[in-house]
Amino acid sequence: MDTIYYDLRDTKGQQKEIEDKISAAAKILREGGLVAIPTETVYGLGANGLDPAAVRRIFEVKGRPQDNPLILHVTGAQWLPRYCADIPPMAYVLARKFWPGPLTMILKRQPLVPDQTTAGLDTVGVRCPNHPVTLAIIREAGVPIAAPSANVSGRPSCTTAQDVMEDVGGRIDGLVDGGPCMLGVESTVLDLTCTPPRLLRPGGLPLEDMERLIGHIDVDKAVLGSLEEHERPAAPGMKYRHYAPKAPVTVITGAPAASAREIEKRVGPTSGVICFDEFAHRFPRQVVRPLGPSEDKLIQAQRLFEALRSFDSSGVTEIYAQCPDSRGLGLAIGNRLKKAAGFHVLEADSQRVILGLTGGTGAGKSSALRALQSLGGMVIDCDKVYQEVLDGSSEFQNAINAQFPGVFGADGRLNRKKLGQEVFAKKDRLEELNRIVFRFLVPELEQRITAADGLYAIDAINLFESGLDRLCDRTVAVTAPTELRVRRIMVRDDIPEQYARLRVFAQKADDYYRSKCDCELNNASESPDTFYRESRLFFERLIESIMEEKRKALNEPNETI
C-alpha cells in the first residue's frame, strides 16, 4: 500500500496548500482509513475512534495486544459529554488549565464509544493534543481520533515522521509530517473515575503540576516498578514490555556524578551508554547517546526514544543508562528508561564499597576475607551463589544441559566432577560454560550487592573472566611466595608435598593476578595471625581511600565538554 506523505512541517507556507492537505487527511480518517498524525508528545496512529473496523486496523498494523485500549483525541473539553459519562467537575478544571496538552483523562464512557476503542472497558481515555495541524485535522474530520503511539508495539514511540515510516510505512494510508515532537514522551494518563485520582502513566505533564491544581494524586504501582505475574495494572498498556532496544538495558539511578562513575566501572568495548552530556567524554570507546544536560529534562525527554531506537543498528551488546531524578519530567523519563530495562535498575550509591578478591590456593584469601568480615564486610561466595541460582532455575539447568548433555544425574543434580572433566583443558568449552554461568550469575549478584549500602567482598575464582570485576571499586590480588603456599596447603588439606606442588602449579601464577588487579595483598608471613592483622590494616586504608574518592566525585562540579 502507498502511504501518502503530507509534509506540514512548515505551517507558515502556502495557506491553501496546507488546508488542502489537512482536508485530505481528514477525509481519509472519515472514510475509515489510517493516518499517522503529529502531536506535541509523540506521533499517533489515528483512525476514526467511533468506527470499529477502522480501529481494528490500528491493532493489526501495530501488532497491539487486543486488551490495550486507545485514547480518543478531541479538540477540547466541549467534546467530553459526547463520549464520557459521570464527568466530575475536576475534569473540566484540569482541561481548562492543561488542554490542549499532554494530559489524558480516564473517564466513564458513553455507549457510543465502541468496545474496539476501549478494549471492552467501561472507561475511555480522552486527550486534546497541542498541535495545530492535528487539531485542525480532528476539527475537519468531525470525529474523535483514536490514536495510540505510532510505533510497532513494543518499540520506542516515534518522535519523527521518519520513525513512523520505519515502523508502519506502507501499511497506513497517510502520514502527516509536522516536524519532530516538542515533548518527546507520551501524555500523562490520569484516572478520574476514582478518589483521589490515580496516576496510571507518568508523561509530559508533571505530577507536581497537577497536584498543585487538584491536590493529592495516588500513583499506581505499575508506574514505579514491575508488576508480579498475577497483578493487573490499571492502564493495560503498562504491563507490556516496552521501549526496549534489542540489547539488554541497565538503568543506574543516583546523583549524576555517582551514576556516571558506576557506569564507567561497568562498560566494556561493546557497551552502549545513554548519559547526560557532561559525562559523554568519559566513554570514548563506547557507543554514546548523550541525553542532554543533566539539568535539562525537556531535552532529555525529546532525545530519549531516538536514543533507545538508535542502538538497534549499532551492534552494542548491552546498554547502560543514567537516570534523572523523579522530579518534573524526570518521573516519565525514568519510567520509560526502566521499562526499556525490564526494571533492571541499580542504584549508584556513594556509601557502598565493593572489593573483588582473587588469588591462588594457599595464598591466604580466606584469612583476608575473614579480616574484611571483621570490618563489617559481607562476603559473597560466588561458588555458593552459583549453586543456589542453579538449584532454583530450570532455565539455567537447561542451558547447561543443552551444551553439556549428560552432566545432570538421574536425581536432577549437577555432577560437577563430570562437568569439570568436560571443560578441563578445553579452552572453548570452558568459555562456553563461563558464558552460560555468568549470564545467570551476574544479574543475581548485582541484585544482592546493590540491595543495600555497606561493604561487600566478592570472592570469585574467575573474577575477571566473568566480568564481575566491573562491579568492584577495587580488585585485590592475594598473593604469596610459592614455597609458603605449598607448605600451607600441605597442612591445611593434609596432602603430601608432591600433590601440593602440583596443585599450586596447576593454577595461574601470582603474576597473572598481579597484572590484572588494582592492588596486591602479599602474604609472606609465617603466622596466620600476623597476616590477619596485616590484612585488616590493608583493607582499612583501602576502604578509606575509596570513600574519599567517592566523596570527591560527588562534590566535584560537573565537567563540561
Contacts to Mg ion by CB under 5 A: 149
Choice between 149 and 479, CB closer to Mg ion: 149
Choice between 155 and 303, CB closer to Mg ion: 155
Choice between 129 and 364, CB closer to ligand TXA: 129
Choice between 81 and 315, CB closer to ligand TXA: 81
CB of 313 to ligand TXA, least distance (A): 23
Q: Which of ligand TXA, Mg ion, none interacts with 187 (beta carbon under 5 to 8 A by kind)?
A: ligand TXA
Choice between 149 and 367, CB closer to Mg ion: 149
CB of 40 closer than 8 Å to CB of 182? yes
Choice between 117 and 350, CB closer to ligand TXA: 117
Joined together, the cell numbers standing for residue 491 give 597442612
Choice between 233 and 454, CB closer to ligand TXA: 233
How far is the C-alpha of 340 from the C-alpha of 301, rounded, in Å? 14
Q: Which of ligand TXA, Mg ion, none interacts with 123 (beta carbon under 5 to 8 A by kind)?
A: ligand TXA
Q: Which of ligand TXA, Mg ion, none interacts with 245 (beta carbon under 5 to 8 A by kind)?
A: none
CB of 238 to ligand TXA, least distance (A): 5
Joined together, the cell numbers standing for residue 169 give 510505512
**3-class secondary-structure state, position 31:** coil
Q: Which of Mg ion, ligand TXA, none interacts with 104 (beta carbon under 5 to 8 A by kind)?
A: ligand TXA
CB of 190 to ligand TXA, least distance (A): 10
Choice between 117 and 149, CB closer to Mg ion: 149
State CA 185 to chain mean position distance.
Answer: 16
CB of 244 to Mg ion, least distance (A): 13
In sequence order, the 6+-apart residues with CB closer than 8 A to the CB of 153 are 62, 63, 64, 65, 240
CB of 75 to ligand TXA, least distance (A): 14
CB of 46 to ligand TXA, least distance (A): 8
How far is the C-alpha of 160 from the C-alpha of 372, rounded, in Å? 54
- Vertex 162: Cα angle to 17 and 301 (nearest 5): 105
Among the listed residues 446, 463, 386, the one whose alpha carbon sits nearest the alpha carbon of residue 419: 386
Joined together, the cell numbers standing for residue 102 give 499532554
Joined together, the cell numbers standing for residue 306 give 531516538
CB of 302 closer than 8 Å to CB of 289? no
| Length of the chain measured in residues | 561
CB of 422 to ligand TXA, least distance (A): 48
CB of 523 to ligand TXA, least distance (A): 59
CB atoms within 10 A of CB 439: 12
Residue 126's beta-bridge partner residues? 72, 105
- Is the N-terminal amide bond of 148 cis, ω within 30° of 0? no
CB atoms within 10 A of CB 453: 12
Q: Which of Mg ion, ligand TXA, none interacts with 49 (beta carbon under 5 to 8 A by kind)?
A: none
Residues at the contact surface with ligand TXA, assessed by CB under 6 A: 39, 41-42, 44, 68-71, 102, 104, 106, 118, 121, 123-125, 127, 129, 147-149, 186-187, 189, 200-201, 234-238
Measured from each CB, the residue nearest to ligand TXA is 237
CB of 192 to ligand TXA, least distance (A): 11
Choice between 232 and 551, CB closer to ligand TXA: 232
How far is the C-alpha of 489 from the C-alpha of 481, rounded, in Å? 13
- Rg of the chain's alpha carbons, rounded to an integer? 29
Q: Residue 414 carries which DSSP code?
A: B
How far is the C-alpha of 466 from the C-alpha of 500, rounded, in Å? 27
Q: Residue 557 carries which DSSP code?
A: P
E strands, 197-339, in order: 198-201, 218-219, 249-253, 271-276, 287-292, 318-322
Distances (CA, A) of 372 to 17, 95, 380: 75, 60, 11
CB of 344 to ligand TXA, least distance (A): 21
Q: Which of ligand TXA, Mg ion, none interacts with 33 (beta carbon under 5 to 8 A by kind)?
A: none
CB atoms within 10 A of CB 67: 13
- 60-63 contacts, C-beta under 8 A, 24 or more apart: 61/34, 61/168, 61/171, 61/172, 62/148, 62/151, 62/152, 62/153, 62/168, 63/152, 63/153, 63/154
Q: Which of Mg ion, ligand TXA, none interacts with 129 (beta carbon under 5 to 8 A by kind)?
A: ligand TXA
Choice between 109 and 201, CB closer to Mg ion: 201
Choice between 47 and 288, CB closer to Mg ion: 47
Joined together, the cell numbers standing for residue 369 give 576475607
Q: Which of Mg ion, ligand TXA, none interacts with 189 (beta carbon under 5 to 8 A by kind)?
A: ligand TXA
CB of 242 to Mg ion, least distance (A): 7
Q: Which of ligand TXA, Mg ion, none interacts with 121 (beta carbon under 5 to 8 A by kind)?
A: ligand TXA
Q: Which amino acid is at 349?
A: D
**3-class secondary-structure state, position 351:** coil
Choice between 148 and 256, CB closer to ligand TXA: 148
Q: Which of Mg ion, ligand TXA, none interacts with 117 (beta carbon under 5 to 8 A by kind)?
A: none
Q: Which of ligand TXA, Mg ion, none interacts with 103 (beta carbon under 5 to 8 A by kind)?
A: none
**3-class secondary-structure state, position 142:** coil
Measured from each CB, the residue nearest to Mg ion is 149
How far is the C-alpha of 349 from the C-alpha of 351, rounded, in Å? 5
CB of 395 to ligand TXA, least distance (A): 29
Q: Which of ligand TXA, Mg ion, none interacts with 235 (beta carbon under 5 to 8 A by kind)?
A: ligand TXA
CB of 125 to Mg ion, least distance (A): 12
End-to-end CA distance of the chain: 47
How far is the C-alpha of 368 from the C-alpha of 487, rounded, in Å? 18
Q: Which of ligand TXA, Mg ion, none interacts with 355 (beta carbon under 5 to 8 A by kind)?
A: none
Choice between 66 and 374, CB closer to ligand TXA: 66
